[in-house]
Amino acid sequence: MTLEQQDKQYVLQTYTRDYTNFVKGVGATLYDENAKDYIDFAAGIAVNSVGHGNEKLVAAICEQARNIIHISNLQVIEPQAKLAQKIVELSGYDMGVFFANSGAEANEGAIKIARKYGENTFDKKRYKVITLEHSFHGRTITTVKATGQASFHVPHFSPYPEGFSYEKTIADVYGAIDDETVAVMIELVQGEGGVQPFEKEEVQALAKHLKEKNILLIVDEVQTGVYRTGEFLASNLYEIEPDIITLAKGLGGGVPIGAVMTKHKTTLSAGEHGSTFGGNYLSTAAGMAVLEILQPLYESGELGEILIYFTQKLQDIATRYTQFFEKEVGLGLMRGLRAKTAEIQVSIIKNSMKEGLVVLKAGRNTIRFLPSLTISKNEIDEGFKRFENALRSL
| Helices and strands (H, E) in the chain, number of each type | 13, 17
Burial degree of 242 (CB within 10 A; 0-12, 13-18, 19+): buried
DSSP conformation class of 232: S
Stretch that binds ligand PLP, among 99-107, 150-158, 174-182, 345-353 (CB under 6 A): 99-107
CB of 144 to ligand PLP, least distance (A): 10
Pattern of binders to ligand PLP over 246-265, x per CB under 6 A?
Answer: --xx----------------
Q: Which of 102, 229, 284, 365 binds ligand PLP (CB under 6 A)?
A: 102
Q: In angstroms, give the least distance from the CB of 316 to ligand PLP.
A: 27
Q: Which is nearer to ligand PLP, 102 or 283 (CB)?
A: 102
Report helix angle 302-320 to 377-392, nearest 10.
Answer: 10
Report the relative pairing of strands 357-358 and 96-100 from DSSP bridges: unpaired
CB of 56 to ligand PLP, least distance (A): 23
Q: Kindly write out the interface string for residues 124-143 of this chain, putting x where it contacts ligand PLP by CB under 6 A and - elsewhere.
A: ------------xxx-----
CA atoms within 13 A on the CB side of 149: 19
CB of 141 to ligand PLP, least distance (A): 13
Burial (0-12, 13-18, 19+ Cβ within 10 Å), 286 = buried
Q: Rule CB under 6 A: which of 204-233 touch ligand PLP? A: 220, 222-223
State how far the Cα of 236 lies from the Cα of 183, in Å rounded to an integer. 20
Q: Segment near ligand PLP (CB under 6 A), from 27-35, 77-85, 101-109, 170-178?
A: 101-109
Cα radius of gyration rounded to whole Å, the chain: 21
40 lies in the site for ligand PLP, by CB under 6 A: no
Q: Which residue, 115 or 137, has its beta carbon nearer to ligand PLP?
A: 137
Q: Please, what is the angle between helix 78-91 and helix 281-299, to 10°?
A: 30
Q: Buried (b) or exposed (e) across 368-394, using 16+ Cβ within 10 A? A: bbbbbbbbeeebbebbbebbbebbeee
Pair 41, 266: CB distance under 8 Å: no
Q: Which of 83, 87, 90, 104 binds ligand PLP (CB under 6 A)?
A: 104
Contact 262, 114 (CB under 8 A): no
CB of 329 to ligand PLP, least distance (A): 15
Q: Nearer Cβ to ligand PLP, position 138 or 242? A: 138
Cβ nearer to ligand PLP, comparing 138 with 278: 138
What minimum distance in Å lies between the beta carbon of 91 and ligand PLP?
17
Residue number, 145 or 249, with CB nearest to ligand PLP: 249
45 HSE (CA, 13 A, CB side): 10
Distance CA 319, CA 208 (A): 37
Q: Which residue's CB is nearer to ligand PLP, number 29 or number 142?
A: 142
By C-beta, is 126 or 137 nearer to ligand PLP? 137
- Distance CA(333)–CA(368), nearest Å, equals 10
CA gap 115, 119 in Å, rounded: 6
**Residue 301, H or E segment:** none
Three-state SS for 240?
coil
**Toward ligand PLP, which CB reaches closer, 91 or 102?**
102
Query: Which one of the spans 52-60, 161-169, 185-193, 198-206 is the region binding ligand PLP (CB under 6 A)?
Result: 185-193
Q: Which is nearer to ligand PLP, 187 or 241 (CB)?
A: 187
The residues in 186-205 that bind ligand PLP, with binding defined as CB under 6 A, are 187, 191-192
What does each C-alpha distance from 95 to 23, 85, 206, 365 come to in angstroms?
40, 9, 21, 37
Q: Which residues bind ligand PLP (CB under 6 A)?
A: 102-104, 107, 136-138, 187, 191-192, 220, 222-223, 248-249
